[in-house]
Amino acid sequence: MKITYCMMTLNRLYDTMRAIERVKPYVDRVVIVDGGSTDDTILTLRNYEGVELYLHPWEDNFSKQRSNYLNHAGENGGTDWVLVSDPDELYSEEALKNMRNEIDNCGSYNMLAFESHSVSMEGPKIVHHSHDKYWKALLFKWNQGIHYVGNPHETLVIDGGIRVKNIPYYYYHIKQNNMTWHRGCRNAFIGGGGPNLGEKHPLWRPFLALVKEKTGIVTWADFDTYMVKGNIDPAIKERLCAFKDEVDYDGASEWREFYKTYYRIYHPEEEPEEFRGVTIG
């Protein structure tokens, strides 16, 4: 039985290496798809024995990128099972030591789900650790045509359907405390992440149109880079300030997080004086 570990990454060298080093002794192959990292991720992984690195420029499409690593898992001798994670997901040693036994005893199930433990960090310090009582299917049987659909929250499609078994082992979802802000506004920009986002939300098209009018930008990656540089167009700043007051519906937090990402993470020095220290939902 051959198990291939797959991950997509982009400018996440530390997390990527931590995840690979944890998993590598327990799998037969490691397949990493990089979206065009500009840190040392590509250079480092090219030097890492036993890692297959493939470059697929990031297109703001999670399903497409994950499907890329599934396609590569089927190459070079193929695989029987695929174990996946994101760079911020770290398997417990117990889970890895027992996964082959779980596969041997899974019967007709073709997907095994691990329980999630959330770990919140402030720098190197753990500030919160919770047992989520949530299972995520991260180990599954490979077959021809397997792929993901949906963006940004993707769903795996397996020929013959999916049969999931929850197993008594866990993984850690490790994130910096303010990372959810960045993820939230990303979801809002690309039109995913909740029932009131995208075409269903009246703010979405006007905001994308404003960004394109003022900057020519149409992708999240370029807009994120634009925010990092700072001193963005005053009309866009005004819109971000308005977003902070969005409340009382599913998905409102994603719009508030534009304000928090720009003014509380990237450029606190630019935050309007009257809003400094004010709690934003």
Tell me: the pLDDT tens digits for 109-156? 999 999 999 999 888 899 989 988 899 999 999 999 999 998 877 899
pLDDT value for 69: 98
pLDDT value for 199: 85
Tell me: the pLDDT tens digits for 69-103? 999 999 999 999 999 999 999 999 999 999 999 99
**pLDDT averaged over every residue in the chain:** 94
Q: What average pLDDT does this structure show over 221-230? A: 95
Percent of the chain with pLDDT over 90: 83
**Residue range(s) occupied by CATH 3.90.550.10 in the chain:** 3-176
| 3 or 179, which is more confident | 3
Residue 13 has pLDDT above 80, yes or no: yes
Q: What average pLDDT does this structure show over 34-59? A: 95
Tell me: the pLDDT tens digits for 169-217? 999 999 888 888 998 899 899 987 677 778 889 999 999 999 999 999 9
Report yes or no: 55 and 42 within 8 Å, Cβ to Cβ: yes
Q: Name the residue with tokens 């149409």.
A: 218
Q: What average pLDDT does this structure show over 228-236? A: 97
Report yes or no: 95 and 171 within 8 Å, Cβ to Cβ: yes
| 28 or 120, which is more confident | 28
pLDDT value for 183: 87
Q: What average pLDDT does this structure show over 259-276? A: 96
Residue 260, class by beta-carbon neighbours within 10 Å (0-12 exposed, 13-18 middle, 19+ buried)? buried
Which CATH fold would you assign to the domain 3-176? Spore Coat Polysaccharide Biosynthesis Protein SpsA; Chain A (3.90.550)
Q: What average pLDDT does this structure show over 8-22? A: 96
pLDDT value for 198: 83
Residue 163 has pLDDT above 70, yes or no: yes
Query: What is the amino acid identity at position 276?
Result: R
